[in-house]
Amino acid sequence: MDLTTMQDSILPLLSALPNTLMLTFVSVFIGFCLAIPFALGRLSKNKLIAQACYAYVYFFRSTPLLVQIFLIYYGSGQFVKALEAVGLWHFFREPWFCAILALSLNTAAYVCEIIRGGILSIPKGQWEAGQVLGLSRFDLFVQVIFPQAFRQALPAYGNEVIIMVKASSLASTITILEVTGVAEKLIAETFQPLEIFIVAGSIYLSLNFVLSQLFHLLEKRLNRYLPHGATRTN
Amino acid sequence: MSSQQENKGIVLKDVNLHYGDYHALRDINLNVAVGERVVVCGSSGSGKSTMIRSIIGLENHDSGHILIDGQELTADAKSQETIRRNVGMVFQQFNLFPHLTIAENCSLALKRVKKMAKGEAKDVVMKYLERVHIPEQAEKYPSQLSGGQQQRAAIARALCMQPKFLLFDEPTSALDPEMVNEVLDVMVEMAQDGMTMICVTHEMGFARQVADKMVFMNQGRIIESGDTVEFFENPKEERTRTFLNTILSH
């Protein structure tokens, strides 16, 4: 093993970390915002809305993320005229836009299911207590149901964010120089994949260590006063 | 009782309710005047919970009329909103919001529904927490309270909205025996203050003490209803007698 190569690769790989973070957290944020309406849609009494949301979830959970990235990045190239006509080609020709779009839509599907599970775990009595107090459906959801559903969903959600950190490496396949992209570039220059992937892997490992600790703390803090933590029934 | 007074109370007229094929409420007729205390009893599955839940629109009746303070209750959201401004409810399982403190539980609807300012809401909350004798628990979370305290907090939460009518759905059934009295004491005090109450309960001591009227239900029907003393001393129906014998025998 060549320690000098490893040492030399640390700085260039770390300098790609902001790109990895950017890809991950922008997608996690957009995905979360999309997931809430999708989760509500899945739970809607309107069959059409519920099925449309399920179709979305089904598609994005059942096809590989890599395929989704390629479909969006290369696929959009087939529709340049149409996309130009609606003023969107400007976005779709950017690898960053395509990567974030694919990651966001993909994580939204998973988070939708995580949130839906959280909402379903809230006892009926909580809805009824809110209704009886005269809370509007909006207030009931925002003030009573969602905060509890989110606490229930937190362990699964933390998992999903960590998966997203790793999934962001697929953006390297469409020319984005995040950690894995830079690693591949360095390998092409040095022909020493083992050393460089060990360093790159360690960066992901450290990042996810910090994230899992943060989620652990958040869980402990938010669930402080919930009886029996995540397994609460009522 | 004048008919005008009756109109201001709770009136159920020929109310029927089905769950699928199951006929849960059969031709229910009930009048509760303002200031009246009514205790509803009956064995489990007799429809007593369903009846009081239907009064606040948690169950939708499929025929008949429910009038509260002269307003008809329908499945329509607007109608339910109007009714719920006048009627409060206390549940068997308390249903406090576990992620909010007791004070926040009580103030949530004051702020969100009554649009009350923070300070004003706090005054109202403290007033009613004192009324149920737990002002010192205001900043705690529900899981830090005993069952009896939680139920009293739930009563305070309902009282904060200053309802004209208060419904109790077996408020002491989920409590350990030693906590039943602290909740019943609060309910007796409310009754003495003139609150209009409908209570589903098996606490016959409480019923004798506060109820103006007893209602006995069986298989979705009101079998017997009337004056409390008369009901206990001289029940007319055989089914009522059997029920009272079982429940009072030990």
Helix ranges, A74-135 (H): 80-85, 89-92, 95-120, 124-132
Q: Which long-range contacts (CB under 8 A, 24 or more apart) does A146-150 make?
A: A146/A36, A146/A119, A147/B99, A148/A118, A148/A122, A148/A226, A148/B97, A148/B98, A148/B99, A149/A115, A149/A118, A149/A119, A149/A121, A149/A122, A150/A115, A150/A118, A150/A222
- The rounded percent of chain A whose pLDDT value lies above 70 is 97
C-beta separation of A160 from A114 below 8 A? yes
pLDDT at B107 over 90: yes
Contacts of B157 in chain A (CB under 8 A): 133
pLDDT at B13 over 90: yes
pLDDT of residue B247: 85
Q: What is the ipTM of this complex?
A: 0.93
Contacts of A147 in chain B (CB under 8 A): 99
| Tens of pLDDT, residues A39-83 | 999 999 999 999 999 999 999 999 999 999 999 999 998 999 999
- The rounded percent of chain B whose pLDDT value lies above 70 is 97
Best mutation target, B60, B78, B85, B95, to test chain A (most A CBs within 10 A)? B95
| Tens of pLDDT, residues A77-106 | 899 999 999 999 989 999 999 999 999 999
Please name each of the domains of chain B with its CATH number.
3-92+165-248 (3.40.50.300)
| Pairwise pLDDT comparison (B201 vs A227), residue with the higher score | B201
pLDDT at A232 over 60: no
The pLDDT mean for chain A works out to 94
Give B155's pLDDT tier (boundaries 50, 70, 90): very high
Please name each of the domains of chain A with its CATH number.
21-138 (1.10.3720.10)
Give A227's pLDDT tier (boundaries 50, 70, 90): low
Give B160's pLDDT tier (boundaries 50, 70, 90): very high
pLDDT at B6 over 90: no
CA distance A34 to chain B (A): 25
Nearest to B95 among A129, A151, A222 (CB): A129
pLDDT of residue A230: 41
Chain-chain contact of A134 with B157 (C-beta, under 8 angstroms)? no
| Tens of pLDDT, residues B112-146 | 999 999 999 999 999 999 999 999 999 999 999 99
The Cα–Cα gap between A13 and A64 comes to 26
Give B47's pLDDT tier (boundaries 50, 70, 90): very high
Mean pLDDT of A158-165: 97
- Burial class of residue B75, CB neighbours in 10 A (0-12, 13-18, 19+): exposed
Nearest to A128 among B80, B95, B113 (CB): B95
Determine the 3-state secondary structure of B197 from DSSP.
strand
pLDDT of residue B64: 96
The Cα–Cα gap between B246 and B238 comes to 13
Chain-chain contact of B95 with A125 (C-beta, under 8 angstroms)? yes
pLDDT at B220 over 80: yes
Mean pLDDT of B235-249: 89
Chain-chain contact of A134 with B95 (C-beta, under 8 angstroms)? no
| Pairwise pLDDT comparison (B22 vs B2), residue with the higher score | B22
Give B250's pLDDT tier (boundaries 50, 70, 90): low
Give B52's pLDDT tier (boundaries 50, 70, 90): very high
C-beta separation of B10 from B165 below 8 A? yes
C-beta separation of A207 from A200 below 8 A? no
Contacts of A123 in chain B (CB under 8 A): 93, 95
Residues 6+ apart with CB under 8 A from B85: A134, B113, B161, B163
pLDDT at A226 over 80: no
The Cα–Cα gap between B219 and B27 comes to 11
Residue B20: CB atoms within 10 Å: 6
pLDDT at A231 over 80: no
pLDDT of residue A138: 94
Torsion of CA B194, B198, B203, B206, to 10 degrees: 10
pLDDT at B103 over 70: yes
pLDDT of residue B2: 46
